[in-house]
Amino acid sequence: MSGYIDSHTHITNDDLDVTAYLEDIREAKEEGLVKSLLVLTEKAEEKLYDALKDDPYFDFARGIFPTDAARYSEEDLKELKNILAKPGFVALGEIGLDYHWAKEIRESQIELFILQIDLANELDLPIIIHSREAMSDTLKVLKEHECRRKGVVHCFSGSMEMMKEFNKLGYMVAFGGTLTYKNNVQGIRAIRELDLDHLLIETDAPYLTPTPKRGQRNRTANVKLVYKFISELLSIDERELIDKVYDNYRRLFLRSR
């Protein structure tokens, strides 16, 4: 049976408070969530896998984040390959380009992005794409280096025209709390034009809390606020939206299950 899915969430990197995180997840399940994709971005977070791997509520992803491009090694890529071979890992990510925090290592980011697309192809995994202030270069890399299982541009912040270019290549886009922000005219325009077969919904918790809880620490159960916002914006039944996103998620990440 389908239900709310948070297609991209984290545990707070600063404290790795597993007990508090599990309490959040318990509450999320009580509120109707059936699945969260937990994206691990730091080596320290990998210990979570052993604590959570037997809970079918969770899927996992791991990648080398673009701001780490200046200091990754071949050993890091080998280690990443070993991690992704474990049960429950359904995607390689988040990976991509970030010119907001690390434009000075642009070439290294592009190189690492391509290497991880190659690894995703080797492992037959989709990718989760981070693109901040780098949409044009992200699109260029994806056009020149195909990921066979495709993937999703997470926390999409580009234009409607750019979104359609990603969709033409076969990539989904994910919207989260930022879509609910009053000044996000570009995001509203994009999602109004989106073919819902390409839609995922996420929180990026503990970041980017949606309205009306903006200013608080985000939690995965807040994904329901994004579903509600989108269903009202697009004038579609929320149950229909839940089923569509559930099907999209399974098609992208759980094809082999």
- The per-residue pLDDT for range 74-84, each reduced to its tens digit, is 999 999 999 99
pTM of the model: 0.96
Contacts of 249 (CB under 8 A, 6+ apart): 5, 7, 35, 37, 200
Q: Is 251 helix (H, G, I), strand (E, B) or coil?
A: helix
Contact assessment for residue 181 and residue 211, using Cβ atoms and an 8 Å cutoff: yes
Distance from C-alpha of 112 to C-alpha of 104, rounded to nearest angstrom: 14
Give the tens place of pLDDT for each residue, 68-126. Answer: 999 999 999 999 999 999 999 999 999 999 999 999 999 999 999 999 999 999 999 99
Choice among 18-22, 199-203, 235-239, 251-255 with the minimum mean pLDDT = 18-22
